[in-house]
Structure formats: structure tokens, C-alpha cells
Amino acid sequence: MKIQNITVLGSGVMGHGIAQVSATAGYNVVLRDIEQSFLDKAMDKIKWSLDKLVAKEKISKEEGDNIFSRITPIVDLKEAVKEAELVIEVVPEIMELKKKVYAELDQVAKPEVIFASNTSTLPITEIANTTSRPDKFIGIHFFNPPQLMKLVEVIPGEKTSESVIQLTKDYVQSVNKQAVLCRKDVPGFIINRLFIPMVHEACYSKDRTGASLEEIDSAVKFNLGFPMGIFELADFTGMDVIHKATSEMHLRDKKVIFPHPLVEKMFDDKKLGQKSGEGFYKYSDDKYERVELSEKLAINYNPIQLVANIINNAAWLITNGASDIVEIEKAAQLGLGLKKPLFETAKQIGIENIINELNSLAEKHGEFYKPDPLLFTMK
């Protein structure tokens, strides 16, 4: 099968970006939403983004016009999927809604059409099994904003066929992104399994050590090679996104996250991060603003607890056959912007020291911290 026609279901934050990158790669794209006014807004955003690329001379005016003309906004679902070989679903992260959307879609899409879900945290196999074609169902997790972020996690469900995995990886490459295969449909896939628990862990570490937000963030940035501090990254991502990912992941696996109550509280208090003007930090407007971090501040905080947490989750992914070190490092570099490989940081700190830290945390705070068996083989 050759993919030439793609339908994107949902034209919000992610959907309009996925439509744009697909059209840029030469695909004919139909963008579908439930109301014409949503599609009008999405098309305006795509136009604005393409105009910016033209102004920066990244593409010519003619290329911009051609890309835009390859995207057709359609509300009627049957009409929208008539020509599609691949449907990328980008509707809100609500299990019941996704299942309803797939029930409708399954009725109108030809049997050979591949369904790819951009879900961040919902189980692929469970959604796939509600359709008549679980062998043609796959997770395709773009990162925000899809126009810029190079990583796409590809997550097969239990019944996804090898040819669908290959076609999806080829599609990802064709839109100039890098696919990382998450071989098992595990809660959080790769990136969220590393990132979301670390936000909670940073809250615990702050409570336990008395370090300031800036001290912890400085150590994360300057010693662990993150592009920004973990609290900064959480504010940038949004507490609504983190809260949602937390509850979905924790619902399915109690071992993945040790939820810190502050995340829930901040969500309830609408302290959502940069978008609301306040998260862990305060922002004077909704524009991105850098917090003052420094190597001097980094000296005051030892980030071993955070490294222990992220490495333990990385080790879990390997032990459970979802990934391997090379793919995890690639995902962390492209998805989290890490400048230094995770396992290199761990080796510098010493795997033995990390195991000791986890054992000591497990003694004080429970089983959650128990070191993954893989770590003992890495000493």
C-alpha cells in the first residue's frame, strides 16, 4: 500500500500542525473537525505558520501556496475519509470520546485504511480492540509543536501488523521526523514515562531537601543537560497536560508515578504554568519567559534523587521489552532536548550510588523506589 491521502481528525493544537507537516511532505490532506468554525481557525493558523516560513525565506511563496492548497477542511466524516489510506486521530484525550470517534470512523472508512492515534497516554490495544481492524491500528505520538519537534513515538498495539508498523515509520520519516518505536503499549510510552514521574519526584525532592525551585532547576539544567529546569519544563508543558497524563498513567500502573499532591492542587487552582501566568513560577505575561538559573545555584543541590527516578524508569522500559538504551537516548535527546545522554549522567554519578539512593528512598518511602533489576547488571 502507498500512502498519498491522509485525513487528520481534530484540528486543535496538534491536529493543525500534523496536517501542515503532512502537506509539506507532499501528501493530500483532509482536515476534519466537528464544526466549520474550528476548521476556519485551524486553516488560519496554518496560513500564518506558512507565511512566517515564507517571510524567513525557508520556503518560497509558491511552495507555501502549494502546501496550503493540499489541505482541504471538511466537516462531514464520510466525505473526509473517502480517499484516505491513513487516518490520524487527534481528538481530545478522553477515552470515551476516542472510542466513540473510532466507532463512527470504523463504519465509514474502507477496511484497508490505517488508523493512527496521537494519544499521549491512552492504551493503544484497548482502543484498537474496539475497532474491526486492530491489526491496522497504531499509536503515532507527535510532540508539541509538531511543526518543530523532531520526535514521533510509534506504538504498536498487541495486534498491529508488521507492515503497518513499517508504513507508519516510513510516513514519519517522510514528514522529516525521527521515529522511535515503543515496542510495547506501556503507560506513558517512552517520553512521558521518563518526564511525568520526574516532575512529581522534583516536588518530593524539594520537600525533602529544602532546596529552592531555582536551585533544583539549575542543577537539572547545568548538571543533567536538560534544556531548562524540570519545574520550568513543567510550566512550559502546562499543569493541565501533566495532571491528565499523571491520572491516565497512574490509573493503569501504580508503579509508574508516585503522585505528589501539589500537581493536583496546582491543576485545581488553575496554576497551569506559562499559559495561565503562574505555575511553579510566576510569569508577567503569557509569553515564554526565562527563569534566572545559574551554575552557581546548581552547586547547592544534588540531583541524585531525580537521576535515580528517571534512570529507574528507563531501566523499567528496557527490562519490560518496551525499548533499549539507544532508542531511549534518541527519544530523550529529541523529545526532552537532553544535551547529555541519560545513562552517561548515571554512570558519572555511579550506578552503585544510584542503587543505594533508590534503596534508601525505598526504605523511607516505600516499594515505589525499588531499583529495577537491570541496574544491578550495570554496576
11 is catalytic: no
294 noted as active-site residue: no
Residue 38 sits in the site that holds ligand NAD (CB under 6 A): yes
Q: Which of 5, 120, 205, 323 is catalytic?
A: 120
Q: Which of residues 335-364 bind ligand NAD (CB under 6 A)?
A: none
Phi-psi region of 321 (alpha: psi -120 to 50; beta: other; left: phi over 0): left
- Sites for ligand NAD among residues 222-261 (CB under 6 A): 241
Give dist(CA 273, CA 240) in Å, integer.
9
Q: 206 or 271: whose CB is closer to ligand NAD?
A: 271
Applying CB under 6 A, what is the total number of residues that bind ligand NAD? 23
Cα–Cα distance list, 274 to 90, 164, 182, 253 (Å): 23, 38, 30, 29
Whether 120 is catalytic is yes
Amino acid at 283: Y
Range in contact with ligand NAD (rule: CB under 6 A) among 117-125, 202-210, 296-304, 351-359: 117-125
**Using rule CB under 6 A, residue 279 touches ligand NAD:** no
Restricted to residues 55-94, the positions that interact with ligand NAD (CB under 6 A) are 90-93
Rounded alpha-carbon distances, angstroms, from residue 353 to 139, 344, 357: 36, 14, 6
Which is nearer to ligand NAD, 66 or 144 (by Cβ)? 144
Residue nearest to ligand NAD (CB): 12
Cα separation, 205 vs 82, in Å, equals 53
Regarding 12 and contact with ligand NAD (CB under 6 A), the answer is yes
User: Inter-axis angle of helices 325-335 and 304-319, to 10 degrees?
Assistant: 130
Among 19, 20, 32, 156, binds ligand NAD (CB under 6 A): 32
CA neighbours within 13 Å on the CB side: how many for 6?
30
What is the dihedral angle through the alpha carbons of 258, 264, 266, 272, rounded to the nearest 10 degrees? 90
DSSP state of 13: T
Q: Is 192 in the site for ligand NAD (CB under 6 A)?
A: no
Q: Which residue in 14, 242, 257, 354 binds ligand NAD (CB under 6 A)?
A: 14
Does residue 9 touch ligand NAD according to CB under 6 A? yes
How is 64-82 classified by DSSP, letter by letter? HHHHHHTEEEE--HHHHTS
Q: To the nearest whole angstrom, how small is the minimum distance from the Cβ of residue 367 to ligand NAD?
A: 29
86 within 8 A of 133, measured Cβ to Cβ: no
* Pattern 141-180, ligand NAD, x by CB under 6 A: -xxx------------------------------------
Cis, peptide link before residue 145, omega less than 30° from 0: yes
Footprint of ligand NAD on this chain (CB under 6 A)?
9-15, 32-34, 38, 90-93, 101, 118-120, 142-144, 241
Residues annotated as catalytic are 120, 141, 153, 192
